[in-house]
Amino acid sequence: MPQTPPHKAAHFEPDVVIVGSGAAGGMAAYALTRAGIKVLMLEAGRDYDPNKENVMLQWNYQAPLRASSTPDKHFGYYDATAGGGWDVPGEPYTNAPGSTFKWWRSRMVGGRTNHWGRHVPRFGPYDFKPYSRDGLGMDWPISYEDVAPWYDRTERLIGVSGANSGLENHPDSSPGVLQPASKPRIAELAIQAGATALGIPCVPSRYAVLTRDIDHPHAPRQACFNASPCGRGCAIGAAFQTTTSLLPMAMGTGRLRIRTNAMVSRVLTDAAGKATGAEYFDKVSGTTHRVKARAVVLAASACESARLLLNSADGGLANSSGQVGKNLVDTTGTNVSGHIPALESRPRYNEDGKDVAHLYIPFWLYKEQAAGKLDFPRGYHYEIGGRFNMPGAGVAMSDTMDGYGAALKEDARRYYGAQISLTVRGEMIPNADSYCELDPAAKDRFGIPVLRFHWKWSDHEYRQIAHGMKSARDIIHKLGGKVLGPEQPPQQAIADGGWIIHEVGTTRMGNSDADSVTDSYGKTWQVDNLVIVDGGIFTSNAHKNPTLTIMALAWRSMDKLAERLRKGEV
């Protein structure tokens, strides 16, 4: 979306400065401007307009390497990520000896919301009180009941399609909130049959992808027409991203200005320790600028916000607890694929549907876990796959295919659409060996100290992954299928830290400044007018994808900040 012209931004005096324009920043801007508050948003990346830059309807064969992944386009040639990735030129990070952590950064307006998976399950009652269940980690200072109204509001605003399934610790939405779920595909129905036979639930998934239009004067959005991968960006607004929804809505109030290529280096404070604004580098000119505001909101992503705090004061701003950068967690991940003979040689038909899975396997063993019958303490889920999809480079049909000519072509036709996948996504428990800190020597091209990551999975995660892989193999075998690829121990099968791009916890909320960085509204304990709204404030990270919870908490926090601003408390 177009950024604010420099001559207009120069004469704009904001009440609040927001750092970041993704899920958290977009929701913060929407909530504050809607409350009558003037906002200046600083985005480290470039401008991005999905209406002009998307390639929704191009075929893989029209792209280099049939649109396959490359070092600078990890998710494929057509992926919407611009100016970011695992490695950002001039903006390095480091890993401590013996550690491997991958840090994904999106340097563009809208951040990761332009290409994310858009899977949006709710955290449940157990997820906010994990310590009370198993004695590990720490309970959140809030309960599910505190967040439930904000989940409803967020789902209705962004548009979530799915269904209420009435399952334990997988809360239903209020009546009328969800849009209709999509009809399952054949492969998904097969997985559902295999899972059901084993007593494993397989239910309609919840995705921030519209199945009905949303009409808004500044951000009209159309229902998905089931013909384009969501990761390419969505010009019709069916797949939620802040660039087609929250940001245009906020801009429509006349109270939001956006400055792109603004690399924030630190939060500014006065002699009394109060936040007065932010300092940033213009990435195009290299010049330094300072902006003032009554309050500062950090929405730069968990690790980037921690980096800002660590660089803003000796010992770290708002770091009396010593917890800034600590408690870093990501989602655990691995994948099990199978070939199902019953799905071979199916009649050809359009099976596109939404780009995402129409069914989902949530965690189902809470009672067994509470009774001590499992050897791991936290849950996982499966994001499932299988259908006729667009051929591209390196698409595996079967590990039994061989030869050339007519026989190979016939095998390809026979095996096309006969593969399924069960992708494990699980909860990691915070540990003392996983955190980020400032590297003592390395700096980025602006002279800002960079992050150094320490990372270690524990036996909790390894045993969880082992269980997830076994249950996935059981489903494949129940369907008469063959597991593809070699069987690996969980220590090899588990994804590297950061690889799932669900990193949270570095500025966690709590009940006091003794062991946390913020209160339940993201307000830092030490700096009364500094609020954090990204995933850094998570006290724990359930196996459920975090973005919906980030947005719900951001809306809740910003309504609180708006109230304090109106009362003159900030």
Tens digits of per-residue pLDDT, 406-461? 988 888 889 999 999 999 999 999 999 999 999 999 999 999 999 999 999 999 99
- Is residue 290 included in any domain, yes or no? yes
Is there a single domain that holds both residue 273 and residue 315? yes
Burial of 357 (0-12, 13-18, 19+ CB in 10 A): buried
For the chain, give the mean pLDDT.
95
Give how far Cα 369 sits from Cα of 21, 134, 374, 379, Å: 39, 9, 5, 9
Is there a single domain that holds both residue 235 and residue 323? yes
Least confident interval from 26-35, 198-207, 386-395, 396-405: 396-405
Q: Between 223 and 1, whose confidence is greater? A: 223
- Is residue 66 included in any domain, yes or no? no
Is there a single domain that holds both residue 409 and residue 558? no
- Is residue 176 included in any domain, yes or no? no
Is there a single domain that holds both residue 229 and residue 116? yes
396 pLDDT tier (thresholds 50, 70, 90): low
Of 493, 514, 545, the residue that ends a domain is: 493
Q: Number of structural domains, the chain?
A: 2
Of 448, 470, 493, the residue that ends a domain is: 493
Say whether pLDDT at 478 is over 90: yes
Cα–Cα distance measured from residue 349 to residue 388, given in angstroms and rounded to the nearest whole number:
8
Given a contact cutoff of 8 angstroms between Cβ atoms, the answer to whether 512 and 374 are in contact is no
- Is residue 561 included in any domain, yes or no? yes
389 pLDDT tier (thresholds 50, 70, 90): confident
Q: Between 397 and 100, whose confidence is greater? A: 100
Query: Across residues 227-237, what is the average pLDDT?
Result: 94
The pLDDT of residue 3 is: 55
Say whether pLDDT at 400 is over 90: no
The pLDDT of residue 274 is: 98
- Pairing state between β 256-259 and 332-339: unpaired
- Is residue 72 included in any domain, yes or no? no
Question: Residue 384's domain spans which residues?
Answer: 181-204+332-426+458-493
Is there a single domain that holds both residue 514 and residue 470? no
Is there a single domain that holds both residue 228 and residue 263? yes
DSSP labels, 197-244: HTT---EE--BSB-SS-B--SS--BPPP-S-S-GGG--TTS-B--GGG
395 pLDDT tier (thresholds 50, 70, 90): low
- Is residue 439 included in any domain, yes or no? yes
Percent of the chain with pLDDT over 70: 97
Say whether pLDDT at 2 is over 60: no
Is there a single domain that holds both residue 242 and residue 296? yes
- Is residue 486 included in any domain, yes or no? yes
Is there a single domain that holds both residue 222 and residue 305? yes
Is there a single domain that holds both residue 210 and residue 196? no
Is there a single domain that holds both residue 370 and residue 514? no
Tens digits of per-residue pLDDT, 317-367? 999 999 999 999 999 999 999 999 999 999 989 999 999 999 999 999 999
7 pLDDT tier (thresholds 50, 70, 90): very low
CA angle 20, 38, 217 (to 5 degrees): 85
> Residue 379 maps to which CATH number?
3.30.410
Tens digits of per-residue pLDDT, 260-305? 999 999 999 999 999 999 999 999 999 999 999 999 999 999 999 9
Say whether pLDDT at 32 is over 70: yes
Say whether pLDDT at 152 is over 90: yes
Say whether pLDDT at 6 is over 60: no
10 pLDDT tier (thresholds 50, 70, 90): low
Of 493, 513, 545, the residue that ends a domain is: 493
CA-based nearest residue to 47, from 106, 79, 9, 2: 2
Say whether pLDDT at 65 is over 60: yes
Query: Across residues 381-406, what is the average pLDDT?
Result: 78
- Is residue 311 included in any domain, yes or no? yes
Say whether pLDDT at 394 is over 60: no
Given a contact cutoff of 8 angstroms between Cβ atoms, the answer to whether 181 and 164 are in contact is no
Given a contact cutoff of 8 angstroms between Cβ atoms, the answer to whether 516 and 509 are in contact is yes
Say whether pLDDT at 238 is over 90: yes
Is there a single domain that holds both residue 42 and residue 116? yes
Q: Spell out the residues 6+ positions from residue 341 whose beta carbon is closer than 8 angstroms to its own.
A: 418, 480, 481, 482
> Residue 95 maps to which CATH number?
3.50.50.60
Tens digits of per-residue pLDDT, 169-188? 999 999 999 999 999 999 99
Is there a single domain that holds both residue 439 and residue 308? yes
